[in-house]
Amino acid sequence: MEDLWPLPTVEAADAIRTLCQRLLTETDAMTEVIAGAALMAQYEPALLPDASLVEEDRHLNRSDLVQWLTSNIQQPGRRVEPYIGPRTAEYIRDLVSRGIGPDFAGGWRVALGLGWRRWLEECVAHCTDPDLLVEVIDVSAKSLVQYALDSVSALREASLAAAMGNANADAIALIQLIASGAPMTEDLAEGRLRYRLARPHVGLVVWTDDTQRAKALDDVVAAVRSASAGGSALIARASATSRWIWLSGTATPDLRHVEKIVAEVADVRAAVGRPGKGLDGFRSSHQDALAAQALIVRLGSDRRFTAYADVELIDNITKDPASAQRFVTKTLGPLAEADEALRQALLTYVQCGFNTTRAAANLYAHRNTVERRVSRANELSVVKVEENPTHVAAALLVLEIAPDITAPTPS
């Protein structure tokens, strides 16, 4: 690309290269700082509930950061060409197909401010010569600002190209409208989607964290559709790594077959909403499934199949991970770090209405064994089960979903 400013001196180029090499080791930490703020600045509500799209947006931020740093290691202080790789292009196509139009300029404005501050900190810490510091800041400021402008332009061009080449955008956009609560008649939605809304149905999100596993994802979707004989299925390609599914029938769909299918395929996971009926049920079950997916992603859980009805309380408790960590620690104390068998025994005991015999049957253990485990777990817990069983059970459920939530946060 054409350079729009004089190239740096050899000394400044060496300094820029060294600084970029240092920061390249911090890309994950910097991405965590930048990505969330940049996402909120894009003013696109449809992005926020979808954990798969949020992850793709985070990946885009990391790619932009790595592109600028590596380019300045190779050619310090030069104009950096934006890179729209296959994954980013796929992400843009997914946004366009769903009628989502993020404010890329707004996101970049926030990202640039945060990134620039971290760059200045590194410059001041490692450039002891005032004249060299001024030159490094001057050149890198020109490079970063131009990179932001070029990147926004490249993203807009990619969005336009995706819009021109998307033949199925209308159907996906209609689903997005229904899911977001736009006014619409049931007859119109059924006719356009060719999916019966008046019957009981349930929404699912099926996704993978590995972009290379898209084929496996589609295999799972095909198996779910095939196993739903007697009912109907609506499938939407929500992103490169996720699919939205609605299943309906004369009775509420039984999803045990879905759980079995997902369990047999590596790297694919599913979240399920509560059953519903009509447009409201279509929407609310889908929102439940998205919330369950977001919970699993937020907590870094390895659960493969999650029903929102089972985790709604945990979702509300863990909106703020730091607060959830305090809740678990203050409630369970040493029990949080104890043998998992103790925690499972106490949780099952509470869930079985404090009936040791039922708990033993559910755990496939001897009644005396369960009694000993429950007694020991209660000794370790700060809050005793007889004092506040709701808090104890909730804290144990949080740990069951996210066993590492009490682990120390890396500095």
CATH number of the domain within which 382 lies? 1.10.10.2840
pLDDT of residue 1: 61
Confidence category of residue 167, pLDDT binned at 50, 70, 90: very low
> Is residue 406 situated within a structural domain?
no
Q: What would the pLDDT profile of 201-223 be if each residue is shown by its tens digit?
A: 899 999 998 888 888 888 888 88
Do 245 and 130 belong to one domain?
A: no
What is the 3-class SS of the chain, one letter each residue? CCCCCCCCCHHHHHHHHHHHHHHHCCHHHHHHHHHHHHHHHCCCCCCCCCHHHHHHHHHHHHHHHHHHHHHHHHCCCCCCCCCCCHHHHHHHHHHHHCCCCCCHHHHHHHHHHHHHHHHHHHHHHHCCCHHHHHHHHHHHHHHHHHHHHHHHHHHHHHHHHHHHCCCCHHHHHHHHHHHCCCCCCHHHHHHHHCCCCCCEEEEEEEEECCHHHHHHHHHHHHHHHHHCCCCEEEEEEEECCEEEEEEECCCCCCCHHHHHHHHCCCCEEEEECCCEEHHHHHHHHHHHHHHHHHHHHHHCCCCCEEEHHHHHHHHHHCCCHHHHHHHHHHHHHHHHHCCHHHHHHHHHHHHCCCCHHHHHHHHCCCHHHHHHHHHHHHHHCCCCCCCCHHHHHHHHHHHHHCCCCCCCCCC
- Contacts of residue 240, defined as CB under 8 A and 6 or more positions apart, other chains included, come to 56, 87, 90, 91, 94, 211, 214
Res 408 pLDDT > 70: no
Domain holding 139, by residue range, is: 10-165
Do 180 and 294 belong to one domain?
A: yes
User: Given CA atoms 12, 16, 21, 25 in this order, what sign does their dihedral have?
Assistant: positive
Do 37 and 156 belong to one domain?
A: yes
Do 209 and 293 belong to one domain?
A: yes
User: Closest Cα to residue 174, out of 98, 279, 75?
Assistant: 98
Specify burial of residue 84 (Cβ count, 10 A radius: 0-12, 13-18, 19+): middle
Tokens representing 83 are 């890179």
- Percentage of the residues of the chain whose pLDDT score is greater than 90: 49
Do 230 and 179 belong to one domain?
A: yes
Q: What would the pLDDT profile of 43-91 be if each residue is shown by its tens digit?
A: 788 788 889 989 999 999 999 999 999 999 999 999 999 988 888 888 9
> Is residue 409 situated within a structural domain?
no
Do 147 and 28 belong to one domain?
A: yes
Number of C-alpha atoms within 13 angstroms, CB side, residue 198?
6
> Is residue 152 situated within a structural domain?
yes
> Is residue 42 situated within a structural domain?
yes
> Is residue 275 situated within a structural domain?
yes
Do 155 and 264 belong to one domain?
A: no
> Is residue 39 situated within a structural domain?
yes
> Is residue 410 situated within a structural domain?
no
Please tell me the total count of domains within the chain: 3
Least confident interval from 227-236, 276-285, 395-404: 227-236
Residue where one domain finishes, among candidates 314, 348, 374: 314
Q: Say how far apart CA 158 and CA 87 lie, in whole Å.
A: 12
Do 65 and 116 belong to one domain?
A: yes
Q: Say how far apart CA 114 and CA 34 lie, in whole Å.
A: 6
Do 69 and 140 belong to one domain?
A: yes
Res 374 pLDDT > 60: yes
Residue where one domain finishes, among candidates 314, 344, 373: 314
> Domain containing 244 — which CATH number?
3.30.70
Q: Say how far apart CA 38 and CA 18 lie, in whole Å.
A: 27
Res 21 pLDDT > 60: yes
Q: Which amino acid is present at 301? A: S
Do 92 and 133 belong to one domain?
A: yes
Tokens representing 356 are 């040791």
pLDDT of residue 63: 93
Do 188 and 136 belong to one domain?
A: no
Least confident interval from 97-111, 272-286, 359-373: 97-111
Residue linked to tokens 């209308």: 170
Give 305's strand partners: 270
Question: What's the Rg (C-alpha) of the chain?
Answer: 26
Residue where one domain finishes, among candidates 314, 339, 361: 314
> Is residue 271 situated within a structural domain?
yes
- Does residue 195 come out as left (phi exceeding 0), alpha (psi in the -120 to 50 range) or beta? beta
Do 193 and 232 belong to one domain?
A: yes
Which pTM does this prediction carry? Answer: 0.66
